[in-house]
Structure 1
Amino acid sequence: MFKARWYFRCGSWIPNEREWTKAADILIPEEKQRIGKFKYQKDAKSSLSGRLLIRKAARDICNIPHQSQHPKRTDAGKPYLQIGDSNHIRAFNVSHSGDLVVLAGDFSHPDVDIGVDVMRIEWPSRTTVPDYFHTMRRQFTESEWQVIRRPTDEWDKMHVFYRFWCLKESYVKAIGVGLGIDLQRLEFHTKESNRGADVVCTTQLFKDGNLQPDWMFEESYIDDNHCVAVALNQNSVIPQTCVDRFIELTSEDLFRDLPEALNPDVKYWREYAGKEARPQSKRKPSS
């Protein structure tokens, strides 16, 4: 099995000192510093959970021990693992939103292009849905906006909005260019709802008006409030088949076989424990 579709509910994870210092011990200095700079515990947990998912995939699926995993990032910020002097693995991607962090990986070939994006469905902050859509008007094509605005219920509109956002983000992350691309060059044609029990793989991508047949998109919901999309380059090493839904991992799964910290960084734990848990959450407006 060379594929991974995993999610972890980092929002409900309450790490203790042993877990936090154990996880921090396997981080490279750049990762550790980046995670330590977050203002809220929520963001620090999300980022650390993503690193743990990557390490677990490399260990469990690729049989690469922790000490041989050297996390790196491309110039655009896309993570990959350096293995030895010349080998690397970049056939994975992580995303986090709301209370979830997800990993999608296809390790049948080290150079597969894959991107994932998960989004929590939520109301716009301090504005109405129409005004929010107006602010975001340049992120989608006119055809996409017609589909987004089609539902009569505003909450349903937000679901469709985040569906298209996940699709665009997953593709941009797969090609590793960050947000340096004009999103109106990308147009997605959806053929069925993504809110059912099955994974939807029928959505098509048009770039500059041209169909991109080598790309497949897996769309699903992890729960009622989190939609996810996986972009996968359908080159010769990847079968053109859809995969199963995302599988939930627990903190026990992430910490299993993780080596104990030889010199626990208690200061790093205390800095985390002293942070505010999270910013004020957005609430659905009353009717």
Structure 2
Amino acid sequence: MQVLEMDLEKGVHRWIVDIAEWNPSPNYFSFAMSFLPQHEHSSITRFFQMEDRKRALVSRLLQYALIHQVLGIPYNEIVIRRTAEGKPYLLCLERSQECDKLNLEFPNFNFNTSHHGDFVAIASEPICLVGLDVVSQTIPEKESVEEFIQSFSSYFSRLEWFNIINAGSSRQILSEFYRYWSMKEAFVKAIGDGVGYKLDTIEFHHKNWENIVVKVDGKELKDWRFWLLELGKDHMASIARGHPMYATSSYKTTLNRTQFNDEEYNLGLHLPNTSFIFRKVEDLFPSNENR
């Protein structure tokens, strides 16, 4: 199947919402939630804190809004499921024209969401796996930075840990810790794995966080690309883009294709990594004709 670069670029999206600027009344929150299928509601209302409910709601609205914009599927016809490990994916109904568009233009359309602190974000890719992790560089309150990060030392390789503890001031150490942690999370989320993945087997190499390379069990994965982006307000985001053959078995079953020739795959691997577009929550609501 021939894939075209100009079509593929339409499948690369990066959206982000600052929920700190959104303070809905209970009635307006319910109104926003009404755009989602009933089965999604419990995954939002199960949270006690309003900030957590906001993150859960906006995360799901981002998924439906992005799928609608890229594929043209009306909100009420979008079916999102989750793998055993919890990764969301679009269930494509074979009868639909949108399914044909998905298979032809975006052979492996997939997406990933993340939220932390003030930001909720989503990233999508047409061929490669995509993993996204947003992190707020929270300063520990009841312990020093050194005490805080020490409990995570087993999740890093020796080289990574050396780079973290030698980053400079306490604040620089904390930032470097979050950078490595976020990268690992983005990789694991891209392949669809869960909390059981041995994070210390993932080792990142970089030059001032450019030209980022990953090694897993000491072997460099040349068919992956990574980006670290500063979002402002002491938040950052890591994006992983990689080959579908690395997906977990449960996630592979949701993908249209896991094998590509080198030419096809390199088209997807080297697509531009577009900048995040800031959205307001209201931008994610469907118009009347698209509900």
Q: TM-score range by the shorter chain?
A: 0.7 to 0.9
Aligned: 1:207 with 2:223: no
Q: Which residue of 1 aligns with 2:179?
A: 163
In the TM superposition, what are the counterparts of 1:268-283 in structure 2 within 5 Å? none
**1:141 paired residue among 136, 153, 157:** 157
1:125-155 Cα deviation digits (max 9, x unpaired): 4211111222111111110011112222111
C-alpha contact (below 8 Å) 1:68/1:83 kept by paired residues: no
Per-residue deviation at 1:56? 0.9
Q: Structure 2 matches for 1:5-154, cutoff 5 A? A: 5-17=14-26, 19-85=28-94, 91-106=110-125, 108-109=126-127, 112-154=128-170
| Identity across the alignment (%) | 29
Deviations 1:145-201 (A, max 9, x none): 1111222211111111110011000000011111111111100012124xxxxxx4x
- Distance (whole Å) between structure 2 residues aligned to residue 169 and residue 123 of structure 1: 19
How far is 1:260 from its partner? 10
Rounded Cα–Cα distance in structure 1 between residues aligned with 2:57 and 2:213: 33
Runs in 1 of length 4+ with deviation above 4 angstroms? Answer: 85-90, 258-261
**More deviation, 236-245/151-160:** 236-245
Q: Which amino acid is the alignment partner of residue 45 of structure 1? A: K
Counterpart CA distance in 2 for 1:60 and 1:54 is: 10
Query: What residue is the counterpart of 1:226 in the other structure?
Result: 235
Structure 1 unaligned residues grouped into runs of 5+: 194-199, 262-287
- Which is further off, 140-149 or 81-90? 81-90
Equivalent AA in structure 2 for residue 166 of structure 1: S
Q: Given residue 14 of structure 1, which amino acid in structure 2 is its aligned partner?
A: N
Q: Distance in 2 between matches of 1:21 and 1:173?
A: 30
Aligned partner of 1:257 in structure 2 is 287
Amino acid of the structure 2 residue aligned with 1:158: L
Residues 42-101 of structure 1 show CA distances to partners (whole Å, capped at 9, x for unaligned) of: 000001001111111111112111121011100000011213258687610000000100
| Match of residue 264 from structure 1 | none
Distance change (3 Å), C-alpha of 1:80 and 1:121: same
| Equivalent position amino acid for 1:211 in 2 | E
Shift of 1:113: 1.2
**Structure 2 unpaired stretches of 5+:** 1-9, 103-107, 244-264
Normalising to structure 2: TM-score of the pair? 0.80
For the aligned residues, what is the CA RMSD? 2.2
